[in-house]
Amino acid sequence: MKRLLVPVLLTLGLIGCASSPDLPAGYALDPGRPEGLAIVSLTLTGKQLNRISVFEYRLREIPPRGGMFADTRDHYDSPRQHARSVQAVGENPPGSRSVVVKGVNSAEPLDIGDAGQAQGRLATVRLPAGEYELHSWRLREPTPYGEREYKPPQEFSYRFSIKSGEMTYLGRVNLHLGERNAVRISVEDRRQDDLALLGRKHPALATGKITHAVGSL
């Protein structure tokens, strides 16, 4: 019985962590910790987001020029160890990870919309200082026969830098999935709207230093 109990508890712990919000309650930037914040709004057009079950991007760290990162996988003996690992995000490079816009276990609201229809959300991503890129996305849409998954025909690259103790605004990244599933990704500077939303969601961050780094794909 004890052998079964630990895997079950670990599974429950992972589910609980999966539903955690972007930032813990009372979070504040600390220049003494080797992490910063990526501020980016992620939206969907061409399809109605309320009919999508999963919408997420993939983000990864870029290795130094001419180098590569080793593949790593963490193994936990208990939910407590996994929770401590999540809280220590600034101490270990995260490698590749998901930035969830909408999902079954997402704790963040869809707070960007148009004409009363949800289009996406403002994401606040904690990352160790370094170079990163958004490189892929995934959608899942219910059908009468199950679900249909959409992915990009090839990876893309939207690169940015994170500095310790600072926030970096990356703009609004919009995925447009049009007729016959034609894909177009665009980046737009919507700092006035997005940073006003940031101030409402996280008042403690409203007076922090923000670097505007809206780039191109």
For the stretch 61-86, pLDDT in tens is 997 765 555 666 778 888 887 777 65
The whole-number average pLDDT for the span 48-64 is 93
| Alpha carbon distance 150, 183 (integer Å) | 10
Per-residue confidence at 39, pLDDT binned at 50, 70, 90?
A: very high
Give the chain's length. 217
For residues 93 and 130, the answer to whether their CB atoms sit within 8 Å is yes
| Alpha carbon distance 83, 139 (integer Å) | 27
Q: At what angle do helices 79-87 and 2-18 cross, to 10 degrees?
A: 30
The whole-number average pLDDT for the span 106-111 is 92
The whole-number average pLDDT for the span 129-149 is 95
pTM: predicted TM-score of the whole model, two decimal places: 0.80
The whole-number average pLDDT for the span 115-134 is 95
95 pLDDT more than 80: no
